Chains A and B, each alone.
Chain A
């Protein structure tokens, strides 16, 4: 069975600092991995996804993530945080092959300090 662990329910960074949100997965087959963002009172929005092409994936709003099979990780980064990045971030995994829905982590709340 697939699972996702997001380390840190809350992460606080200063505006302009590096953002690093951690995601580790467990999967019995090569996974497909996703990062979604949820702004207050809005629906989930896809940031980026890994679908077995390039291991370094670039997404919207300056975010990127690197798939590391040896570490079973898919951490999300952004070089310089902006106040508008404050939101809830979810990592998700899909195995395919009959496991049709996404399995989400519990989420990380990103706080940006001025």
Chain B
């Protein structure tokens, strides 16, 4: 079956611009996660959705970052007034139920470059 997909695969933008990153989870998975991976680092947790609601957004670095999942499937990560420090690979993952032992399946990521 289809895995987690993310679009675009690459995004280049200028400092101060607004960007949207999209994630399509595995069909039927209720839990969705966003992570950010900077060069030479492991993924860093940003936000977790259970269904349509953001159950844990404690990893969002500041109020320029926002994410939605209006119908409990596709999610969009939105970054306002981008900064060069936002450059990273943004990863999306989904799991069937969202329990801590559930396997998270990762997408290929969106590489964001802020010039």
Contact = CB atoms under 8 A, between A and B. Distances in A.
| Chains A and B are bound partners | yes
B62 interface: no
Chain B interface mostly? loop
Contacts of B59: 101
Given A96-B99, A96-B100, A103 B45 contact: yes
B55 interface: yes
A100 B42 contact: no
A98 interface: yes
Interface residues of B, number: 28
A32 B103 CA distance: 11
A101 B107 CA distance: 15
Interface in A58-114: 90, 92, 94-107
Given A32-B100, A43-B91, A46-B103, A100 B56 contact: yes
Contact of A44 (B43, B46, B55, B100): B43
Interface in A25-54: 32, 36, 42-46, 49, 51
Interface size bucket, A side?
Answer: 20 to 34
Contacts, number: 68
B109 interface: yes
A65 to B, nearest CB: 15
Nearest to B108: A43
B96 to A, nearest CB: 13
Interface of A: 4, 9, 32, 36, 42-46, 49, 51, 90, 92, 94-107
Given A94-B101, A104-B42, 9 more contacts: A44-B91, A49-B101, A96-B100, A100-B33, A100-B48, A101-B56, A102-B45, A104-B44, A107-B40
Interface of B: 3-4, 33, 35, 40-46, 48, 55-56, 59, 91, 93, 98-101, 103-109
26 contacts: A9-B40, A42-B108, A43-B3, A43-B4, A43-B91, A44-B91, A44-B93, A44-B106, A46-B103, A49-B101, A90-B42, A94-B101, A99-B100, A100-B45, A100-B48, A100-B55, A101-B33, A102-B33, A102-B43, A104-B35, A104-B42, A105-B42, A106-B40, A106-B41, A106-B42, A107-B40
